[in-house]
Structure formats: C-alpha cells, structure tokens
Chains A and B, each alone.
Chain A
Amino acid sequence: MSGEPIVDVQDLTVDFLGGVKSLRAVAGVDLTLRSGEVLALLGESGSGKTVTLRALMRLLPERRALIGGKVLVDGHDVRALSKSGLTAYRGRTIAMIFQEPGLALDPVYRVGDQIAEAVMHHEGASRRDARVRALALFERVRIPSAARRLDNYAHEMSGGMRQRAMIALALACRPKVLLADEPTTALDATVQIQVLLLLRELQRELGLAVIFVTHDIGVATEIADRIAVMYAGRIVETGACRDVIRTPAHPYTIGLLASRAGRALAKGERLAAIPGSPPDLANLPQGCAFAPRCERAQPVCEAAVPAEVAVSDGHCARCVFLHKSEATA
C-alpha cells in the first residue's frame, strides 16, 4: 500500500461534444496521489481543474463529455465502472465536497437524514445505527449542539455550518479519497480558515488523500503538500508546496505570485499584472497555451506544447526555457 499511489491518472483528456466543434477542457493531465497526501489543483476559471475533479468521480454528463486516458483510483478503473460499480465507488472510495453547500445538500430533507441515508445505502446499516453515525460525524466536524442540528434543513444553517455538514456527509462512508472543489471560496475569511483547519485535521487523522481545487494561492499554501498549477487544461507546474511557492519555475506561476495584491508594496506602486486574458479553449494555440501572455515568449513556444521538465526533485514545469537551461547545464 505504502508505495502505491491511490490515485493514478495518466494522460487524462476530457472533450465536451456538441455545439459547432468539440471543446477540449482537459488536455492530458497526469496525477498521482498517495494516501495521506493533499494535492492542490490551482488555476483560474476555465483551466480545467473542476472538470478534472469531476472526471475522477465520473460526474460529467456521459453523452456530452468524452473521457480519455487512464484513471485508476484505489485499483478501480474509473472509466470502465458499471452503473452499480459506480454507485459503490462513489461514497465509499471517493467523495466530494462542493463550493456551494446550499446547492449540494437536498433542501427538502433534514441534513441528518441525508447522512443516515448514505450510511444505510452503502453499509446496510439500520436507520438507528446510521443516525448514531451521523451524530458522531456532526460532532467530529464540530457542529455545535450536534444532536439538535441533525434535524435542521440546509437553509436553517449558516454558511460555515452547512459546509461542515457537507464534509460530514462526504466522510459518512469512510472514503479513501476526498475531492474538494473550492469548498471555502464562498465563505467569509474568518470562517474559511476554520474550515481549512478542520479539513487539514480530518485529513491527517483519517489518512485521507485529498485533491483540493482552488484559485487562491493562499488557500493552497495553507492546505497542500503538493501544488499542481493548471492552465488551459494542462498542468503547467507541479511540485512540493514549498518549492512551487518559493521557487516557481513556470512563467504563469511566477506571474500569479507576482501579481498578488498582498505583497508588501510601496504606495503608488503598480501590481505586476499578467497581460491579456485566459485563452479560449475552442481556439487553443498549437504550442504553449500561455505563450500569448508570456513576456518571455519566443517563436519556439508556438511550435509545440512544451514537455515536462524536472526542475528539482519532484518539481516539474512545462516551459521550453527550462528545457534549454537544463540542456546547456
């Protein structure tokens, strides 16, 4: 178990069909994740981070989204799972929490019943036992007066409490992998940090493998062991959290870090913004998708998608200039 990755994704592609032409939202993503590891997928809207996450759980519409590549999670070939196999896989092997718990929880069932239902379904537990588990979970995620809150409907809870309830629901059947899709983005700052700390603590205690999607570098820094930066459907840089934050290698990552308003700036100084706007997925350039916005771009960038280059141990980036310096060194 120890050496084997629990999530093994090779060359994942997702194409959305329909419309005039199909759209490649994920264009060859490789991911490996071991138990007890937290990976942050960092990227902007349209970079393919959420689609990657949903592909891992096969939550994309079957007929309109074409998944390619290898997706292995805890020994399951996710692409080949049958309908019943998928039902067993979701919840017990892998679970997901979403950005908007108000939309993810069912508004017409009590939250406690929703959790109990999952336990009854997956583990064949009695209703009574399932309620006991739900109560334990509510206490575990530190919802105050848990017993009373089990009988709440989702709208009766505050945002932070709803997010805790959703985490409880996701953990109800003891999954090995937790997927988190911007779970703190809709929360207030003082609540966000509470939820991040809770996730970190649960992850450590339960030995969960977590893939955490976010657009916020600060949040990624708080939660992740490793960071993978996505741009236009590809991972452009990946490495240990410390390496990516301290010594970013890809111009996009460098630009993102430099453009943060949080850096200490003298009054009147300008932010080092990345020029241009994110690419149109329907009209991606042949080569490096970041080249049109990159100040270092050369004709060579437009020729082909840059290969992954190892910058240091476990730290890779897709940029031709890294390749060059590597070759000459």
Chain B
Amino acid sequence: MAANGNAPKPEADEVRGKVTRTENRALAVVKKVPLPWWALIVLVGATAAVSPYILMPSNLIHLVRQGVPGAILALGETFVILAGGFDLSIASTVSLIAAVASGEMAGKVGNIFPTVALSLSIAAAIGLINGLAVTKLKVPSFLTTLGMMIALQGAALVYTGGMPVGGFPEEFRALGVGRLLGVPYLIWILVIVIVLSQIFLKKTALGRSILSVGGNDLACHLMGIRVNRVRILTFVLSSVFAAVGTLLMVTTFRVWDSSMGKGMHFEAITMVIVGGAALGGGRGSAVTTILGWLVMTMLFTFLNLVGFPEAGRFIVEGVIILLAVAANREALMRVQ
C-alpha cells in the first residue's frame, strides 16, 4: 500500500466501480425509456399477478377489440392536439354519425356503402367548419369545438327525434364479430389505421408539418408552410377518424341510442396526454397515443379485476392524467 500511494485499495474500488457502473447503465436505460412504457409494464405485471387468465390470447383479443373505437377517436384527436388545438366536438360527432348510420342503413345491406360514404362526408364537413372557425374567425378551438359539440348534439336529436331510428344490418354487424386468421376484423382495421397514421405523421412532409405547426406556427409560416391549411386538415382528420371509430363501434349495437358518444372527447384527450403528447402541440405521435390508450385500457382492466367500484374509475382517470403531465414535465426539464 505504501508503494502505490495514489491508488487506495484497488480491488475494493474495482468492485465498487463495477456496481456503480451497472447502476449507471440501469439508470440510463430507465431515463431513456419514456414513463408510459414503464407504467404499462407495471400494469400488465400487476394484472397478471391478480389474474393470469387475463393474459390469455382470447381475453386479450377481446379487451383490445372493445377498445378499438376509443383508440381510433384518440388517434384522430392526436392530430388536432399536435398542432396545438383541442377538439371537444368528437363526442357529439359520434352521436350524430351513429344516428345517421342507423337511420340511413335502416337494416338493408344495399345501404351500407352509400351510408358509409355519407357518414365520412358529414364528418369531413364538420371538421372543415371547425377548422375554418378556428383559423379564419380565430375563435379559440376550445370554444369552437365546444359550440359545435352542443350544436351537433342538437343535430343528432333532430335527425332521430330522440327515438332509436333505423337499425344496423346483420351484414354490417358481422364486421364486428368476424375474424380473419383468428384475429377480429376490428383489430386488423385498428392496426392499419395506426400504421397509416404513424407513417403519415413521421414520413410525409404534410404530416411532419402538423408537428412543426404545433411547435412554432410563426416560424413555420416564415418557412412557407400554409399554417391555416394544416390546422384545418387536423380538424377534418379528427372528425373523420371519429366517424370511422363510430362506424366500428356500432357494429356491436342494433340501433342508435342517445348515450352514444357521451364523454368520449375527454377520454380521447386523456389517452393522448397520458401517452406523452404535449398540450399546446409540437410533441407526440400516433404511437404515443396508442401507448396512452394501452395504459388506460390496462388500468381499467386491472381496476375491474380488483373490484374497484365503477364510479371510482373517474377518480383514477383524474389522478393519472395529472401524474402523466407532471411526469412529462420532469422529462422535458431533464436537459441531457
């Protein structure tokens, strides 16, 4: 020891060094992986611990299939939020489209395609109105979509007179039950939508410009991006996705009823935020939203399993969304 004065007890130090190195590596991994993934892993683990049967493929598939409409609504909402806005109107869009679909199909097979086309057109029109009001009239999207939500609620009631009208044909509802290669159609459709959305957002100039506009609309304008057009597009996409989600949702129903769509706007926004997107735009993607959807779905499955009261889910939703945003700010503030 006297000989090597500068290196005290090299052996012990090496061991200590190794431990800290492993610790550091583990910490680095933890820091790199976004929080929602951890939440998901923990939840899956907890669920499995409570009831391993849940993780059987048939149960999982059922779970996922139930959540498909919600996921699609959340994906639509993502576009609007990425560009810095809100779309509160989707809840009523769901109600209206469900009503129109129910009424126009009226149980006949031949009506299916024209009705689908009509539904998507109506949704696109709604999105266009939202977009124009926000960009040209400069009404804040919160208030615009709030107004639309109320108006569309009325529209749905006008169309149906408050009573269930028409009905969904058997062949259409088959879409909800049928499977391809053992996996329900709905899930295939969801996967396609997710993939297309992600590719659009990440790999096309227009898609990327949505994120850019949310990040700094003034700078985008100075670089030649048509900010207003991009924003209008996001609202159109949100409404159209809401229509698609509605059509998929009603395959499990016989006919429209007035509770359809209630609260789905807050649900969608929650999923987008929990997944990591930033309110005010500029951060997020289709994948982060799906992550949020998975976390929320898993969370409620877990709560159901442990017998958490139905009404209590609101409390949990509230706490989760708060934690998610708080955690996100931590992540953003950690300057690497």
A and B found bound together: no
